[in-house]
Amino acid sequence: MNAPLPAHLLPDMAKRETPAALVDALKSRFSDRCSTALVVREQHGRDESSFAAPPPAAVVFAESTLEVADAVKLAAQYNVPVIPFGVGTSLEGHLLAIQGGISIDVSRMNKVLSINAEDLTVTVQPGVTRKQLNEEIKSTGLFFPIDPGADATLGGMSATRASGTNAVRYGTMRENVLALQVVTASGEVIRTGTRAKKSSAGYDLTRLMVGSEGTLGVITEVTVKLYPLPEAISAAICSFPSIEAAVRTTIEVIQLGVPIARVELIDHNTVRMVNKHSKLTLREEPMLLMEFHGTPGSVKEQAELVQELASNHGGNAFEWASTPEERTRLWTARHNAYFAAIQSRPGCRAISTDTCVPISRLADCLLESVAEVDASGIPYFLVGHVGDGNFHFGYLINPDDPAERAAAEVLNHKLVSRALALEGTCTGEHGVGLHKMDFLVTEAGDGAVNMMRTIKRALDPKNIMNPGKIFSI
Amino acid sequence: MNAPLPAHLLPDMAKRETPAALVDALKSRFSDRCSTALVVREQHGRDESSFAAPPPAAVVFAESTLEVADAVKLAAQYNVPVIPFGVGTSLEGHLLAIQGGISIDVSRMNKVLSINAEDLTVTVQPGVTRKQLNEEIKSTGLFFPIDPGADATLGGMSATRASGTNAVRYGTMRENVLALQVVTASGEVIRTGTRAKKSSAGYDLTRLMVGSEGTLGVITEVTVKLYPLPEAISAAICSFPSIEAAVRTTIEVIQLGVPIARVELIDHNTVRMVNKHSKLTLREEPMLLMEFHGTPGSVKEQAELVQELASNHGGNAFEWASTPEERTRLWTARHNAYFAAIQSRPGCRAISTDTCVPISRLADCLLESVAEVDASGIPYFLVGHVGDGNFHFGYLINPDDPAERAAAEVLNHKLVSRALALEGTCTGEHGVGLHKMDFLVTEAGDGAVNMMRTIKRALDPKNIMNPGKIFSI
């Protein structure tokens, strides 16, 4: 059972009526692509977060930008909330219809519109997922590196400013989205940015939309950067005597400027869960899972240097996954850590944390937090994009035990406070959604959050675009 | 003589009174750090652009964030424009007091506030220049790569989203500013971002401010990324039989993903001017000036690959500048290209262009434009950060000859139209300022520019922050 929304969100929950006239108008415009079936609405009224809210009143399956614009215009006319929906992998309650309204499902807008291989760019509809994109561009010798684990849509990844395992080398959606097409709160279609690699042409609306979590408009096209597939790729795992040893190694790798493509921490708990789930026999110790991209010479150089740093901290010899199949198996295991963890405690829910700190603070932040969770007795997994200073605890709670839920919230609260005191952020890549609204105020301050509110009010005066997320109005 | 402002800017020129009471209040608050001397006002009422406008009514030399806030509050009280001023290297008229008002000079706010070498970040006051910064962090083994040529301030570089020669590898101010402190239009002090490398915590106010050209607030602190000084750096020049050959080489370098740190095109005109100005004997042919950063092995690999690509296009053997002194001499010559060009035609003014296109369109955009300028008979220089698809013509006009000025504007107009048709931008790194307001509308569309206006009105309801720049209100 998911939890009711916390009390502080209740003022935003004042459910706005979705008039029958709007649903009629949507049905008339979209016929059977506007659904009011409970099962469809419920599927669109939840995500991977642990909150519960009533489902949206209707779901529109849009197939074009024009259709999105029409649906938004109708919603605006009736002053009803609009919640964009991709494939539902949000972890922070972004998709919950906490003020009622309609869900606009863009998963059928899943065409790759133009591949400009010579420019290393591609333009896609928002429902294209990252795996689909990489499949469709395979023949070009290019790839799209952003990999948040889940096979999320490019629209959703833009909306939450997602990143993941490759960000340490290739950046996040912030660095990789070049241009967008957006349906605004009034149903107007605008374009932000161009395919030029850089620009000083006015306000950076692209980056204002990236990370705006559906609260400023519906993203209907995304142009992102691509990268040449590296000539050589090698993946290696290295076990360490302690989390601290793994983290100290990572810090040195980053401080020396090694262009490592991936460096993921997996703690011994999680290795155990992953072994069981993916039938692997990884050494059940804290480990780093690394990937090196480059020419054969530079990959060798990087790996030798990192191996040396790891040895200085008691790391074991690298175990290499040199074939694509072995690499895929390792990364699949990493990506399945979340599900492996969930299965380790039947019936549990995971409450995920997402702090990110400057790299020199990583050891302090992580080790104190590990000690705290260990002391609490709550089972957990721990994985981290540690090269970026970003890591996730997943507290595996019994959702029917309010005491466990409360204990997890206390742990999260302590963790976030620690990260903020160390000049970090409450969310490295998941977004604020419903869960981190208070933390955002602590992190950014009233002044900055009020500036966000002012922008929101100006661009969405009726407060219909995914209202009640990021901050209360 | 600088030119009067074009007619289409006149509606914005309706000069707003700067009441004597405001000047009195500023003098009382800042005593002799508020100047109304004509020479001081005139120095703050111009930049490197070719426009003329009446100077600001007063100049305040602020020494702290609090002082900036106080000056803004007083200006807001009297509804008077505020124009932030660093060291005056803008090329687009950003600093001109076209609606009157006061200039806030932040050049005395030039302290490096905190160097966090372990995190590869530094926080500075806005008046710190890029050369000063690199001097002050020299002992850390780190450097700040963004290099727009001029020794601009970090505040000004943030405000215009500057980039320059190293951007092809290290990105622009967009990618390198982590956090800001900003005085808003009401005089409130806010912070945007943290020192964490990535974040999904709410709207990206940092990137909204970066490139906002002083129209949304005064930047009073800047936190940027630093990079480890590469183990090896090599610079080389390579001459080509034609601009096309140099550009085709560059396109292949980028498409192959070579992590080249700098790749600058200098046309034969400009080589001639630079030779004369810097007493060099470079071959007077189109050339690429390149720099490679990395380990000794990777620098060698990159250089060999690029040499091979260059040879295929008829490029000569690389001439290496391997000592730091030789490198500095070459880059100084490159940075002096603008002044070398100005001196090549005594009494001339340069009208600089700044288009940037997707890399595959670079040859088309550049070559057609070169043919056009050659046909016009107007002397010019041509330099380009071609790895990013960005290049600058400088039309060297006689400022007292309206026909030459008009001809240069026609050339620029054709160039920008061509770049936009090729999915590029009218400004890669200089900003919109006064000169590109019409182009911005063509590039971004009414919808996006209206969204910018809406944000501006919401955050600066009195329209006092550098009004009349980027777009008319």
Q: What is the mean pLDDT of residues A421-428?
A: 98
- Write the residue in B172, B208, B448 that is nearest to A190 by C-beta: B448
Dihedral of the CA atoms B160, B351, B470, A214 (nearest 10)?
Answer: -60
> Which contiguous run of DSSP H or E holds residue A298?
helix A296-312
Cβ separation of B175 and A172 shorter than 8 Å?
no
What is d(CA A180, CA A210) in angstroms, rounded to the nearest whole number? Answer: 9
What is d(CA A163, CA A155) in angstroms, rounded to the nearest whole number? Answer: 13
Cβ separation of A211 and B200 shorter than 8 Å?
yes
Q: CA nearest A183 in B: which residue?
A: B447
What is d(CA B21, CA B15) in angstroms, rounded to the nearest whole number? Answer: 17
Residue A247: which of A307, A310, A331 has the closest Cα? A310
What is d(CA A340, CA A324) in angstroms, rounded to the nearest whole number? Answer: 23
pLDDT at B383 over 50: yes
- Write the residue in B195, B256, B356 that is nearest to A196 by C-beta: B356
Please give the residue that has the higher pLDDT: either A473 or A302. Answer: A302
Task: Determine the pLDDT at residue B162.
Answer: 98
Q: How distant is the Cα of B262 from the closest Cα of chain A, in angstroms?
A: 15
What is d(CA B220, CA B65) in angstroms, rounded to the nearest whole number? Answer: 6
Q: What is the mean pLDDT of residues B314-327?
A: 89
Chain B CB contacts of A159 under 8 Å are none
- Write the residue in A116, A198, A356 that is nearest to B198 by C-beta: A356
Cβ separation of A390 and B198 shorter than 8 Å?
yes
- Write the residue in B196, B201, B423 that is nearest to A444 by C-beta: B201
Note whether A342 and A386 are within 8 A (CB): no
How many beta-carbon pairs under 8 angstroms link A with B? 281
- Write the residue in B207, B388, B452 that is nearest to A197 by C-beta: B388
- Write the residue in A201, A426, A459 that is nearest to B201 by C-beta: A426
Q: What is the mean pLDDT of residues A186-209?
A: 98
**Domains of chain B with CATH codes:** 1-229 (3.30.465.10), 232-421 (3.40.462.40)
- Write the residue in B190, B298, B357 that is nearest to A196 by C-beta: B357
Q: Is B132 helix (H, G, I), strand (E, B) or coil?
A: helix
Task: Determine the pLDDT at residue B52.
Answer: 80
Spatial neighbors of B464 by CB under 8 A, at least 6 apart, are: B72, B75, B76, B79, B80, B81, B82, B101, B185
What is the b/e burial string over A123-160, where b = at least 16 CB atoms within 10 angstroms of the residue's CB? bbbbbbbbebbbebbeebebbbbbbbbbebbbbbbbbb
What is d(CA A273, CA A270) in angstroms, rounded to the nearest whole number? Answer: 5
Task: Determine the pLDDT at residue B51.
Answer: 76
Q: How distant is the Cα of B369 from the closest Cα of chain A, in angstroms?
A: 18
Chain A CB contacts of B357 under 8 Å are 196
Cβ separation of A454 and B449 shorter than 8 Å?
no
pLDDT at B462 over 90: yes
Rg (CA), chain A: 22
Task: Determine the pLDDT at residue A5.
Answer: 65
What's the mean pLDDT when you consider all of chain B?
94
- Write the residue in B210, B297, B361 that is nearest to A204 by C-beta: B210
What is d(CA B56, CA B16) in angstroms, rounded to the nearest whole number? Answer: 11
Task: Determine the pLDDT at residue A12.
Answer: 55
Question: How far out from the chain centre does Cα A460 lie?
Answer: 24
Mean pLDDT check: name the lowest of A13-17, A236-240, A393-397, A438-442. Answer: A13-17
> Which contiguous run of DSSP H or E holds residue A444?
helix A437-459
Confidence band for B330, pLDDT divided at 50, 70 and 90: confident
Chain A CB contacts of B174 under 8 Å are 198, 204, 207
Cβ separation of B448 and A202 shorter than 8 Å?
yes
Chain A CB contacts of B447 under 8 Å are 184, 188-191
Q: What is the reported pTM? A: 0.96
pLDDT at B459 over 70: yes
Q: CA nearest B447 in A: which residue?
A: A190
* B304-315 tens-digit pLDDT: 999 999 999 999
Cβ separation of A256 and B188 shorter than 8 Å?
no
Task: Determine the pLDDT at residue B332.
Answer: 83
What is the b/e burial string over A163-173, where b = at least 16 CB atoms within 10 angstroms of the residue's CB? bbbbbbbbbbb
Q: What is the mean pLDDT of residues A200-210?
A: 98
Whole-Å CA distances, B3 to B48, B262, B340, B348, B398: 12, 35, 22, 12, 11
Cβ separation of B116 and A360 shorter than 8 Å?
yes
Q: What is the mean pLDDT of residues B364-368?
A: 95
Residue that has been written with the tokens 């309609």 in this structure: A102
What is d(CA B420, CA B432) in angstroms, rounded to the nearest whole number? Answer: 15
- Write the residue in B118, B211, B294 that is nearest to A204 by C-beta: B211
pLDDT at A315 over 50: yes
Note whether A81 and A101 are within 8 A (CB): yes
Confidence band for A8, pLDDT divided at 50, 70 and 90: low
Tokens of A470: 């990021």
Mutation site, A115, A183, A197, A472, interface B, largest B CB count within 10 A: A197
- Write the residue in B171, B198, B424 that is nearest to A167 by C-beta: B198
Rg (CA), chain B: 22
Chain A CB contacts of B255 under 8 Å are 118, 120, 228
* B78-96 tens-digit pLDDT: 999 999 999 999 999 999 9
Residue A75: which of A471, A470, A403, A462 has the closest Cα? A462
Tokens of A434: 């419903």
Confidence band for B322, pLDDT divided at 50, 70 and 90: confident
Cβ separation of A195 and B458 shorter than 8 Å?
no
Question: How far out from the chain centre does Cα B31 lie?
Answer: 33
Residue A423: which of A364, A367, A358 has the closest Cα? A358
Chain B CB contacts of A120 under 8 Å are 254-255, 359
Q: CA nearest A140 in B: which residue?
A: B255
Tokens of B446: 């009414």
Chain A CB contacts of B439 under 8 Å are 201
Tokens of A120: 């290393």
Cβ separation of B454 and A454 shorter than 8 Å?
no
Q: What is the mean pLDDT of residues B403-419?
A: 96
Cβ separation of B199 and A427 shorter than 8 Å?
yes
Tokens of A416: 């976030």
Alpha carbons within 13 angstroms on the beta-carbon side of residue A195 total 25
Residues in chain B: 473
Residue B176: which of B185, B188, B164 has the closest Cα? B164
pLDDT at B327 over 50: yes
Spatial neighbors of B96 by CB under 8 A, at least 6 apart, are: B45, B46, B47, B49, B51, B53, B83, B434
Cβ separation of A360 and B118 shorter than 8 Å?
yes
Q: What is the mean pLDDT of residues B67-82?
A: 98
Cβ separation of A208 and B207 shorter than 8 Å?
yes
Task: Determine the pLDDT at residue A51.
Answer: 77
pLDDT at A6 over 90: no
Task: Determine the pLDDT at residue A10.
Answer: 55
Mutation site, B118, B200, B357, B420, interface A, largest A CB count within 10 A: B200
Q: What is the DSSP string of B259-283?
A: --SEEEEE-HHHHHHHHHHHT----
Cβ separation of B120 and A255 shorter than 8 Å?
yes
Task: Determine the pLDDT at residue A269.
Answer: 92
Chain A CB contacts of B358 under 8 Å are 116, 118-119, 121, 195-197
Cβ separation of B118 and A470 shorter than 8 Å?
no
Q: CA nearest B449 in A: which residue?
A: A202
pLDDT at B1 over 50: no
Q: How large is the ipTM?
A: 0.96
pLDDT at A150 over 60: yes
Chain A CB contacts of B247 under 8 Å are none
* B256-276 tens-digit pLDDT: 999 999 999 999 999 999 999
User: What residue type is assigned to position A401 of the chain?
Assistant: D
Mutation site, A65, A178, A198, interface B, largest B CB count within 10 A: A198
What's the mean pLDDT when you consider all of chain A?
94
Note whether B145 and B224 are within 8 A (CB): no
- Write the residue in A189, A298, A452 that is nearest to B447 by C-beta: A189
Q: How distant is the Cα of A195 from the closest Cα of chain B, in angstroms?
A: 6
